[in-house]
């Protein structure tokens, strides 16, 4: 196969960056940074696929793995949060030796498959392989000669997904409180503000009832903070008692 100069330049530029990103993925302390580096490695592989005229594999690498699966992992890590100290704790006994053994076995299997596919078998040009179209040729091989391995891999992925859900599921040690129990516990705290809810961030309020006007930065009441229905019914409370605190504070400071 003849390698064009632009393709060689692209490879020698992106390949070292991909290797550095792969090593950084293993060495960084934060799980979010590791996920971002893994996403970059996947994007680099997609570029290599497209450069080799394997358009379907390149698009799938970006859309499915990088855009869907990897970003899902990244969002979960950002929402849940994983500390570097948590990753060093072995929650399941004997999991680390099993993982190392499985990694070595998978590496040996992959090396054997690559060796059987390349040694003694001359490479077929991509032009000939994609004579009927990249997607069409791949579908023809996948659903004819390799339909059984395809089904086995599908069953393996489903089993892995079910196993991950089983491992991630845990039983509650304490029963979830009901709505009535949560309401009773909230009102028994002795604070009316906790029962009605706290004001929003950045809001200065001396009282948290809906019938008391909010105070503007100068201490005066804000008429638009009260519902027009409460005004019409005459249920709006005066805000003067709540402004006295500001005056009293000034008097105390002067004294």
- pLDDT tens sequence across 217-234: 777 777 777 777 776 777
Residue 105: band (very low, low, confident or very high) from pLDDT cuts 50, 70, 90: very high
Ranges for all domains in the chain classified under CATH 1.20.120.1200:
1-83+132-152
Distance CA 133, CA 147 (A): 19
Share of the chain above pLDDT 70, in %: 71
Q: At 249, which helix (H) or strand (E)?
A: helix 240-254
- At 255 the pLDDT is 35
Asked: is 1-83+132-152 a CATH 3.90.45.10 domain? The reply is: no
pLDDT for 208: 58
This prediction has a pTM of 0.48
Residues ≥6 apart with Cβ < 8 Å to 145: none
Tokens for 99?
Answer: 């993982």
Angle separating helix axes 31-51 and 71-80, nearest 10 degrees:
170
Encode 15-28: b = buried (16+ Cβ within 10 Å), e = exposed. eeebeebeebbeee
Reply yes or no on whether the pLDDT at 7 is more than 90: no
pLDDT tens column, 156-192? 989 988 888 887 777 777 788 888 887 777 777 655 5
Structure tokens at 204: 């200065």
Angle subtended at Cα 72 by Cα 67 and Cα 78, rounded to the nearest 5 degrees = 125
At a CB cut-off of 8 Å and minimum separation 6, what does 204 contact? 214, 215, 217
Residue with the two structure tokens 């006007």? 213
The tokens for 79 are: 């929402």
DSSP characters for 72-124?
A: HHHHHHHHH---TTGGGS-SSTTHHHHHHHHHHHHHHHHHHHHHHHHTTSPPP
Q: What's the pLDDT score for residue 19?
A: 92
34 Cβ contact partners less than 8 Å away, ≥ 6 residues apart: 24, 25, 26, 28
């Amino acid at each position: 196969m003849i390698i064009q100069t632009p393709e060689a330049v692209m490879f020698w530029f992106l390949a070292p960056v991909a290797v550095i990103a792969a090593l950084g993925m293993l060495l960084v302390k934060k799980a979010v940074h590791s996920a971002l580096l893994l996403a970059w490695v996947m994007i680099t592989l997609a570029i290599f696929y497209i450069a080799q005229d394997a358009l379907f594999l390149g698009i799938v690498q970006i859309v499915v793995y990088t855009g869907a699966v990897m970003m899902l992992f990244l969002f979960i890590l950002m929402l849940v949060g994983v500390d570097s100290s948590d990753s060093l704790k072995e929650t399941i006994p004997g999991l680390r030796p099993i993982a190392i053994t499985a990694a070595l076995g998978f590496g040996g299997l992959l090396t054997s498959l690559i060796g059987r596919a390349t040694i003694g078998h001359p490479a077929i040009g991509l032009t000939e392989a994609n004579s009927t179209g990249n997607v069409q040729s791949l579908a023809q091989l996948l659903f004819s000669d390799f339909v059984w391995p395809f089904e086995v891999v599908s069953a393996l992925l489903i089993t892995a997904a079910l196993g991950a859900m089983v491992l991630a599921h845990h039983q509650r040690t304490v029963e979830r409180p009901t709505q009535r129990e949560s309401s009773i516990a909230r009102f028994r705290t002795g604070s009316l503000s906790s029962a009605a809810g706290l004001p929003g961030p950045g809001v200065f309020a001396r009282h948290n009832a809906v019938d008391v006007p909010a105070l503007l930065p100068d201490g005066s009441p804000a008429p638009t903070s009260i519902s027009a229905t409460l005004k019409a019914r005459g249920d709006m409370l005066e805000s003067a008692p709540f402004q006295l605190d500001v005056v009293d504070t000034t008097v105390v400071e002067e004294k």
